[in-house]
Structure 1
Amino acid sequence: MSNAPGLSRRQLLSTTFAAAGAVVVGAAATAPAQAAPPRPRNWARSTSQNGWPVVDGAKVASHRVEGSDARITLAAGAVSTVLLHVLRRFHYEVGAVGRGDLIGHRTTRAVVAAFESNYLSGTAVAIRPNFYPVGSAGNFFTGEMLVIRDILAECDGVVRWGGDDRDHPSEGHFQIDVPPGDTRLDRLARTFEEWADQPDRGPGTMIDLLNARRRSAAKDLRARQRPF
């Protein structure tokens, strides 16, 4: 079959590609604009989102995550005991953490999501924020999610996971989710401290994640806590 009169094969192909390009450009020009990422705002309150007082560097302490060379700065006492337990289980069962992988207390008041204000009180942690940025979801495999849900159930509502934030999921974020003075926090911290003296309890020990009782507790807590 001959080409159209006056057009060589090269000219015909060039004309076809140019027309196709025009369609693509036209489609792009009429496509809806992508929403701009949310802009940070200044957190001006004297307390963080979870009700804890915003503190300066004199009221927090640096801690090493046992079993790793990672360090993190957190509020002292029961807060650090509980969050370090969470980090140790994550380190052993989800993904090893190392130097520079963790963010704890900070003094920068710029936040995108309200839960980020909890870093100001030293009551929240961010694990590898570049791996699990705010707004990104579905970063963990099914087995890893079983561990995360089990960790949360073990904390019995005292800790909340940023992956359950409906508007700004942050899958590396864990925070204390009870106000100062809540007896559940101290009780949980004492439990974790007691486990430290028991070789068959706590982070680094064998845990049956498919145990019916543990799975039921994890599902019940998820129903109570989700969404933000």
Structure 2
Amino acid sequence: MKILISNDDGYLAPGIVALADALASIAEIVVVAPDSNRSGSSNSLTLDRPLSLYTASNGFHFLNGTPSDCVHVALTGVLAFRPDLIVSGINQGQNMGDDTLYSGTVAAATEGYLFGIPAIAFSQVDKGWTELDSAARMAREIVLRKFDSLQKPYLLNVNIPNLPYASLKGVVATRLGKRHESEGVIKATDPHGRQIYWIGLAGKAKDAGEGTDFHATALGKVSITPLQIDLTHRAQLDALKNALA
């Protein structure tokens, strides 16, 4: 098996190091990740400047671009082979509910999916890298699953509670929950007296009922949500056709 690994926390992040170490024994791996933290970059591609690829002493490749850039450049200009799987993470902090729209971790996996390659995004529920070995072990087990019943390519979003491996309560299929609106921006003044703004915190969970990623991880379970990219609001399609008639 050949696996391309990326993330949004940057090539030096403990999460991607742990993930690469966990997968190296079961696959031929190549790491192409951003040169710095690109959290919240979503599916953006860099079109206003050229990109440069470098190689670190540990063999990881890093790019001065977004997670989507990393996977795109790897697949179309760097790798001499087509990977069997794209894996992203392990992210520092959850990517659940509406967060998936902003997540660079999910975006790296999505870029592979758009190229027709199965892809999995891994995140820990809480920040701080606690119980990272447990998360990496779980990621390895999930990668080894065949998922033969799933239509390929598939795109899976995995969130792992920060718990010792023995304390995890299993792996369950979930849907995305929903959050309340984000908190307001934080206003400040820079050293030159100019108004600046920090994006506020994500909203609290609004829909965290049974079957959601929020509910599963709160119970100590690993959440796996299958994602799709078709944004068509099909329930509105007939109404729109009638409005245009």
TM-score w.r.t. structure 2 length?
0.29
- Larger fraction in helix: 1
- Larger fraction in strand: 2
- Which structure has the larger Rg over C-alpha atoms? 1
TM-score w.r.t. structure 1 length?
0.31
